[in-house]
Each structure stands twice: as structure tokens, then as C-alpha cells.
Amino acid sequence: QLQLQESGPGLVKPSETLSLTCTVSGGSISSSSYYWGWIRQPPGKGLEWIGSIYYSGSTYYNPSLKSRVTISVDTSKNQFSLKLSSVTAADTAVYYCARVSRTLAAAGPFPFDYWGQGTLVTVSS
């Protein structure tokens, strides 16, 4: 059974960089059938797509966050990571990593079929 687990600091100071890692177990991150993505959800609010990455390193970012976001992949560790720079209180949210399945549609967009449990990141001094 595929599992995704987010890890990283739960508290980040304003203007600093938020860094999270998602560890994938029970499957290979190098499969051509999947992308890997980050989604966030501020407390009491809706879901926001942050970006996605393919095992080759190809990335797609939310235009509203693109200038501050970097997503990378480490196939040797079966992990992918998120960096969000210059954070403010508005970046306080539960951050989810998820698998994007290319097997459920012939062409994009594709769905997020497996999700991590999420990790709360608070931006505060």
C-alpha cells in the first residue's frame, strides 16, 4: 500500500523559507505513471494547489506562488521536497503531499489519488 509522509519544521519565522519533504513508501517515485504534488489548506479554508513534479524533474507551479516556490525530487531517497521562500502569516496552513495519477485519464489534468496525512506549518515570530 502506497504511503506518503510529510516532514519538516512546524514553525517558521516570517521572511524565512519553509522547507518540507515528502517520503514515499510502498511504491517508486520514478514511475512514469505518476507525478507528485504539494497542496495546502489554511485553517478553516479551502485547498490550494502549490505545484507538481515528475521524476525527471519537470515542474509545474501555481502562477500565484511561482516566484516563491521550488519543488525538487530525489529519486535515490524516494522523496520530493517543497521550498517556499519569504513566508508570511498567510502561508500558515496544513501542507499535503500527494500522488498525481496519470493512469486515471488519457490526458491531463490528472487527479490526486493518494495523499499524505498533512502537516501544519505555522508562520510566526
Partner 1 sequence: SYELTQPPSVSVSPGQTARITCSGDALPKQYAYWYQQKPGQAPVLVIYKDSERPSGIPERFSGSSSGTTVTLTISGVQAEDEADYYCQSADSSGTSYVFGTGTKVTVL
Please say which residue, 29 or 49, places its beta carbon nearer to partner 1.
49
58, HSE (Cβ side, Cα atoms, 13 Å)? 6
Stretch that binds partner 1, among 7-15, 24-32, 85-93, 116-124 (CB under 8 A): 116-124
113 binds partner 1 (CB under 8 A): yes
Stretch that binds partner 1, among 12-20, 25-33, 75-83, 103-111 (CB under 8 A): 103-111
Please say which residue, 16 or 94, places its beta carbon nearer to partner 1.
94
Residue ranges binding partner 1 (CB under 8 A):
37, 39, 46-49, 52, 60, 62-64, 96, 104-105, 107-109, 111-113, 115-118
